[in-house]
Amino acid sequence: MNKAYHETLPKNYFGNLYEKVTSPLIKGENVCISVIPGLGVKTLFNFLHYNIAKSKIFDKTYVYDPEIEKINLVDFTKNIASKNTKKKLIFVRFFEQIEFKNQVLEKLDSLRRKDPKNLVFLVLTDHGAVINFDDYQATSTIFFSDIIYFPPFDLNRTEAMVETLTSFYGWKIEKSLIKDIFKLSGGIPRLIKYLCKETYESRVPITNLEKFILVPQMNFQIDLVSKILIREPKNKTCLFGLTDEEGRIKSQLVKYYLKNYKSDVQVTHLLDF
């Protein structure tokens, strides 16, 4: 049977993230991972779910997806808590979609209070956890022992991703292009993936930025990042890893796109560098 992409990735693919996540979980502490959509959130979920299940850290792992489940997270947890299985992990996806987060986390804390080490939560959410920290704790206590922000890749991680794409999809990418791919993408995994795909399959020259931004998957991601850059102050976009300390946009594709951005919001301050 052919392996899925996430099953081919080494445990150090995301650096030391696996250890950073599992270490507190093993101790019975809850963990929240914050990541901008498009920065590999689907691969990250599959990778962690697969490796945690494989390592048998918990007797049983459950997944709550608000886009799929018909019941709310509290009722879902009540059902899980009543099961005889001892060590249980509830993996929550798209936590940003949960309303009244403080109250929900307070109720979840009450449900795990009798035996906290045996009912643990691993939550995936968007970048809101970084800028709205208070929304991600219970009303009377600290629910998450760790809120880990997952930033765009650096050059080394970009190179590692290109290598895994080459191995899995058969896209032969010349090593001389990796620095260009990193500069164009700003280390954003979805952009890295489709830069590789279009460069290899469609033979788009790496210098043809106009062609790249018209690729639907890339245009979607670039537009998403652009809106974050417009909406958030510079100190936050630097924290997200979308700009450097001087406020310069890291992704050349995003910067190119913003030059022609149609918006009522003034964007020239983003293009000063």
- The domain that holds 63 is classified in CATH as 3.40.50.300
Say what the pLDDT of residue 272 is: 52
- According to the model, what pLDDT value does residue 60 have? 92
Statement to judge: residues 167 and 263 lie in one domain: yes
Taking alpha carbons only, the member of 34, 36, 239 closest to residue 122 is 34
Q: How much is the average pLDDT of 246-260?
A: 91
Among 221, 249, 250, 223, residue whose Cα is nearest residue 38: 221
- Model pLDDT, residue 273: 43
117 and 179 belong to one structural domain: no
Burial, 40: exposed, middle or buried (Cβ in 10 Å; 0-12, 13-18, 19+)? Answer: buried
Residues 6+ apart with CB under 8 A from 247: 234, 237, 238, 270, 272, 273
Asked if 81 and 198 sit in the same domain, the reply is no
**Do 165 and 67 fall within a single domain?**
no
Indicate whether 50 and 78 sit together in one domain: yes
Q: How far is 122 from 33, CA to CA, in rounded Å? A: 8
Final residue of a structural domain among 124, 149, 174: 149
Q: Flag whether pLDDT at 99 surpasses 90.
A: yes
Number of domains making up the chain: 2
Range of the domain at 27: 5-149
- Does residue 72 sit in the same domain as residue 125? yes
Residue where a domain terminates, one of 117, 149, 181: 149
234 and 189, same domain (yes or no): yes
Taking only the tens place, the pLDDT of each residue in 203-216 is 999 999 999 999 99
Domain boundary among 129, 149, 169: 149
Q: pLDDT tier at 264 (50, 70, 90 boundaries)? A: very low
Whether 10 and 140 map to the same domain: the answer is yes
Considering the domain architecture, whether residues 159 and 129 belong to the same structural domain is answered as no
Residue 162 sits in the same domain as residue 253: yes
Residues 124 and 219 occupy one common structural domain: no
At 265, is the pLDDT very low, low, confident or very high (cuts 50, 70, 90)? very low
- Cα 79 to Cα 153: distance, rounded to the nearest angstrom: 38
- Where do we find the tokens 């998957």? 217
Q: What pLDDT digit, counting tens, does each position of 36-68 carry? A: 877 778 899 999 999 999 999 999 999 999 999
| Pair (192, 123) in one structural domain | no
